[in-house]
Amino acid sequence: MTLRTTCAALGAFVLAATLAACSQAEDAERGDAASASAPAVSSAPVATAAAAKDGEAPTLSAYIGKHPTEPIQGVTFFQHPAVRAAIVASGADRDIQKAIVFDDNVVGVVTETRGRLLLHGYDPAGAGSTNWAILMIPDGSKAAVCYSTGIEGYEKGADWYFEGDLAFTLYTPCPAEEGDMETLSNWPIGPIPG
């Protein structure tokens, strides 16, 4: 394992652990016992740390065609340090991050489209109106998160978070497959669409 890989994995682990600690502190402060007892975000760092002891996390390309809960080398897609770091670095707020890794989501398999990995999911309680997507380069260096609670004309759309901020809003659901990617061109590899 190279020093750079070790540092990257450690940095991702620290970000995920910090997010989990903040989440627990905020939940406890609000007296929300249900979410404080089992926050979705806090369970992943333990599994990631255990897998890291055995060696490097797998490449992200290894997850193509796999369900994100299917472990590769003991690490699921959501537990992968690069994925966790990408979700945090996107700038999506903590509630959106928790919604993405929510266990009861309906989630597809990780696909590859135009040199990027795409994962789409939705909350079945809202019949798919609340949906999300993660779009990232296979080396994990660039990633974006889409989140939508429904589309209403030009009033409410799908927000795209990238590099710590809201990058833009599209008035279509978050992409679920290759055909949904036309408006994005090759972003986030290339420039922001529009």
Q: What is the pLDDT of residue 194?
A: 62
CA-to-CA distance for 1 and 54, rounded, in angstroms?
11
| HSE-up of residue 68 (Cα within 13 Å, Cβ side) | 25
- Per-residue pLDDT 10s for the chain (194 aa) are 433 333 333 343 333 443 444 444 444 443 443 333 333 333 333 334 444 444 588 999 999 999 999 999 999 999 999 999 999 999 999 999 998 888 888 999 999 988 899 999 998 887 788 999 999 999 888 899 999 998 887 788 999 999 999 999 999 899 998 888 877 777 777 767 76
Q: What is the pLDDT of residue 188?
A: 78
Do 88 and 19 form a contact (C-beta atoms < 8 A)?
yes
Token output for 148: 């939508």
Do 118 and 50 form a contact (C-beta atoms < 8 A)?
no
Whether residue 104 is contained in a domain is answered as: yes
Whether residue 193 is contained in a domain is answered as: no
Q: What is the pLDDT of residue 151?
A: 87
Q: What is the pLDDT of residue 55?
A: 58
Other beta carbons within 10 angstroms of residue 193's beta carbon come to: 15
Whether residue 24 is contained in a domain is answered as: no
Q: For residue 61, give its domain range.
A: 57-184
CA-to-CA distance for 186 and 22, rounded, in angstroms?
34
Whether residue 88 is contained in a domain is answered as: yes
Whether residue 171 is contained in a domain is answered as: yes
Whether residue 92 is contained in a domain is answered as: yes
- Kindly report the average pLDDT of the chain as a whole number: 75
Whether residue 18 is contained in a domain is answered as: no
Where would I find the H helices in the chain? 3-30, 33-37, 44-54, 81-89, 94-100
Q: Which of 126, 129, 52 is nearest to 84 (CA)?
A: 52
Q: What is the pLDDT of residue 45?
A: 38
Other beta carbons within 10 angstroms of residue 71's beta carbon come to: 16
Q: How many domains are there within the chain? A: 1
Do 57 and 43 form a contact (C-beta atoms < 8 A)?
no
Whether residue 43 is contained in a domain is answered as: no
